[in-house]
Amino acid sequence: MTTAHDFTFTALDGASLPLSDFAGKSVLVVNTASRCGLTPQYEGLESLYTQYKDRGLVVLGVPCNQFAGQEPSTEAEIADFCATRFQVDFPLTAKTEVKDAGRHPFYAWAEGVLGEAAVPVWNFHKILIGPAGEAVAAFGPRTEPLDPAVTTAVEASL
C-alpha cells in the first residue's frame, strides 16, 4: 500500500527530501506563497511547529506559484523571506506544482486517499500525514494553523 513515505520532494536548497525521512512523525504539508493575503499564516505555522516538534510534528512548507502568481521568487529569495520575515525554522521544499496535470505525485496520492478535500484550492492548504505515512486530514486555506480543528488533529496523530 502506498503511503506518503513513498514520495520525495526537492528541498529548497536542491537536495532530495524523501518524506520517509519523517517516518514516525506527523507531517503537516502546506503549500505556501510569499505574496498572498494568507502569507501571515507562516507565523502560525512556525508557532505550531515550535509547540509540537518535540512531540514529533514536522511542518513542511511547499512553495507554489500556481495561485495568482503569488510565489514568483527564486528558492534563495524564498529562503531569505521566510527566515527574515517569519523566522521559519521548519523545512521548505523547492517551488512545486500542487494542482492540475503537472502536480507533484504526493498531491495526486493525497487526493486519491482523502478525496477533493486534499486538492489545494489556494495557498496555505494543509494536509496532515500521520507517523506511518497515512493521510489523516486536509484543511482549507482559510483554516488557521492554530485553529482547534488543526491542533486537535495534530495532537491525535502524535
Residue at 156: amino acid letter? A
Q: What are phi and psi of 52, to 5 degrees?
A: -115, -5
Select from 19, 20, 10, 35 the least CA-distant residue to 95.
10
> What angle (nearest 5°) sits at the alpha carbon of residue 75, between those of residues 69 and 77?
85
Of the residues 12, 36, 48, 154, which is catalytic?
36
64 is catalytic: no
Could you tell me how far CA 126 lies from the centroid of its own chain? 6
Catalytic residues: 36
